[in-house]
Chains A and B, each alone.
Chain A
Amino acid sequence: MRTVATESRKLTILVVDDEMIVRDSLGAWFREDGYRVETAENAREALRLAAEGRHDVAFLDIKMPGVDGLELQARLKEVAPDLAVVVMTAYASVDSAVRALKAGAQDYIVKPFDPEQLSALLRRIEETRALRSENVRLKSALDGAAAPPIVGRSPAMRRLLEVVESVAKTDATVLIRGESGTGKELVARAIHQQSARRYNPLVAVHCGALAEGVLESELFGHEKGAFTGAAYHHKGKFEQADGGTIFLDEIGEISPKVQVELLRVLEEKRVTRVGGKVAIPVDFRVVAATNRDLRAMAKAGEFREDLFWRLDVVSVEIPPLRDRREDVPLLAQHFAGCLGRSMNRRNLRLTPAALEALTECDWPGNVRELQNAIERAIVLGRKDEIDAKDLPTRPGGGAPTANARSLEELERAHIARILDETGWNITHAAAVLEIDRGTLYNKIRKYELTKPDHAA
């Protein structure tokens, strides 16, 4: 026979009392009401259980042999900072009540308990915790809502938006492919925002930026003491994404070890924290992204084939900007509008010549590079009109530094461009380059840069 009330997601309670009758009776009463309950007969046992991070609230008896309830309350704060604490006693005193409440206890209750008061206390704790998680969820949803829209009217982008709309309605795993700077995270956010999970968190992990051990801990969490410096248990990104979407960017960069662990999590929908023993059930949707050819990597044995197939359920390809040049003017005007508003220059506009120059550019860094170019032109320019000469573009090429091979070539090209953009104003150029004027003069001499006749 099952207990009906336990089906709903309710608090997990830790009852700490040296008297068995209290542990048993209180535990049974909570369980009868559908709560999950664990009990401990002393502080040592309580600290061990609390460190596993499963509990929402702990009921602590004050009078216990060894470490008493008030001292335990202080120690619990170190191992489980989010745990709500209710202090209970058969020997009420003003002193102990003040100490407990000052130390952050939710309540101080006296045995025997009035069922009505105890029931109301649990409802209050439940409401507080629900409000807290709702707050986190709404903040996350607001972050998602603030994401910029996907801009583009080219046939390629229209097809992409159609795919995003259809796939968002499902819970299928999505693999987004595209060169750097094409807006893979933007597409992931669009999928999340159009899905039924939109009111739950979207958690992004940039897998390529983290070392293997750090990535494991970030993704799966860790228990206290799992490694040097793990002073607290830590919920990983999968647990944080419970009910929502996890976005795994640069998935092609993860190590074989993490690939194995990730595959297990995707298959079982359960996460075991680093150093932990308990597999925690988690409800998430995966959207992954890469700028690499994962299929080829899988064939070459550089990426697990089973993980590739698990990720490549629905594949979304974002075309590079050079293959959809008709979107460049729209994107440029969109960025000029957004950046102009944020810099309080609301009348900014791009001249037809500027738009033409931008459209002819190849943009190897894609949308991100285009955005940076517009931003640079706004920052350095003083007029409301952005013309072709204000832009660091070369017809048919990317930014002038794009073809530089060595570091010196790159530095020479970059300094030349900044000098050009600032009209050879040395003070201004040095400030943009974040070097002093003397250094800039030295570099001009070293690279034999000369001021063109038309420069101011």
Chain B
Amino acid sequence: MPHDGPVLAVRLLRVGAVPQALLRDLAARVSMVASLPCRVGVAAGVEPVALPGRAQVDADRLLLGLEGLPREPGAVTAGVTDADMGSAIFTHHFGRARHGGRALVISLARLKPEFYGLPQDRGLLLRRASLEFLHELGHVWGLGHCRDNGCIMRFVPTVEGIDNRGTAFCAACASAVALPPALAPR
């Protein structure tokens, strides 16, 4: 289902225990990278559902919950959770969105350097989270994965992949959807 008209704003909602300051900083970065106004809030009524036998929340059900939240026309609902996300099929997800949907969700758990036994790095976490947000926003715009190494829509299964992947849309992806001028390739 295509998104109902152009994306005009983002509502960045905390799901669970994400520090408010981190969410605000992330909103500032998202607003910068996506060139869209971004407000923060809480995903009231959206309860993460644990996957049976796994210390993870169900990404698909979380996305479904976020899609069910009331929203203003042109706004995209973006959930941010600290919990590790997985699904019945996959061991983990950095983010989740439906093609042409109205919501996306990203998990900070595997974006944190400390998940891999490395020292905390708030700046790196914010960079990864904002890039993962932009990738999922591409799916909301109807884009699939791209084979261009330099394109943010390239599928990467690891956090190193996110660090090394391009940070912008390639010309082919950009021409496929109406990107905000700030996101068009230079």
- Residues of A bordering B, CB below 8 Å: 1-6, 8, 21-22, 25-26, 29, 31-34, 111-116, 118-119
Contact = CB atoms under 8 A, between A and B. Distances in A.
B89 A32 contact: no
Given A4-B153, A32-B139, A116-B158, A26 B147 contact: no
Given A113-B89, A116-B157, 10 more contacts: A1-B100, A3-B143, A22-B88, A29-B90, A32-B144, A34-B144, A34-B147, A112-B87, A113-B91, A114-B92
B145 interface: yes
B111 to A, nearest CB: 15
B104 interface: no
B56 to A, nearest CB: 9
Contacts of B90: 25, 29, 112-115, 118
Category for how many chain B residues contact A: 20 to 34
Nearest to A26: B89
30 contacts: A1-B100, A1-B176, A1-B177, A3-B142, A3-B143, A4-B143, A4-B153, A4-B173, A5-B145, A6-B144, A8-B147, A21-B88, A25-B87, A29-B89, A32-B99, A32-B145, A34-B144, A112-B87, A112-B90, A112-B91, A113-B89, A113-B90, A114-B91, A115-B90, A115-B91, A115-B157, A116-B158, A118-B90, A119-B155, A119-B157
A21 B59 CA distance: 13
Contacts of B143: 1, 3-4
A5 B145 CA distance: 5
B141 interface: yes
Closest 9 CB pairs of A and B: A1-B142, A3-B144, A116-B157, A115-B157, A5-B144, A25-B89, A33-B145, A114-B91, A5-B145
A111 B173 CA distance: 32
Contacts of A26: 89
B46 to A, nearest CB: 20
Contacts of B79: none
Nearest to B161: A116
Nearest to A114: B91
A111 B89 contact: yes
B82 interface: no
A30 to B, nearest CB: 10
B89 A33 contact: no
A119 B91 CA distance: 13
A197 to B, nearest CB: 25
Interface of B: 2, 60, 86-93, 99-100, 139, 141-147, 153, 155, 157-158, 172-173, 176-177
Nearest to A90: B88
A21 B142 contact: no
Nearest to B142: A1
Contacts of B92: 114-115
Contacts of A116: 157-158
A125 B143 CA distance: 24
A180 to B, nearest CB: 51
Contact of B89 (A1, A4, A21): A21
B50 to A, nearest CB: 14
Contacts of B145: 5, 32-34
Nearest to A31: B144
Contacts of B141: 1
A340 to B, nearest CB: 54
B59 to A, nearest CB: 10
A3 B146 CA distance: 9
Contacts of B99: 3, 32
Contacts of A6: 144
A117 to B, nearest CB: 8
Contacts of A8: 147
Contacts of B155: 32-33, 119
A114 B87 CA distance: 11
Contact of B172 (A4, A25, A118): A4
A205 to B, nearest CB: 36
A1 B153 CA distance: 15
Contacts of A33: 144-145, 155
A2 B145 CA distance: 11
A6 B145 CA distance: 8
A196 B2 CA distance: 41
Contacts of A114: 90-92, 157
B114 to A, nearest CB: 20
A3 B147 CA distance: 12
Contact of B142 (A2, A22, A34, A111): A2
Contacts of B177: 1
A8 B142 CA distance: 17
A31 B57 CA distance: 24
Given A111-B88, A112-B91, A115-B90, A5 B157 contact: no
A5 B173 CA distance: 9
A25 B100 contact: no
A4 B146 contact: yes
Contacts of A1: 2, 100, 141-143, 176-177
B153 to A, nearest CB: 7
Nearest to A116: B157
A61 B88 CA distance: 14
A15 to B, nearest CB: 11
A388 B176 CA distance: 74
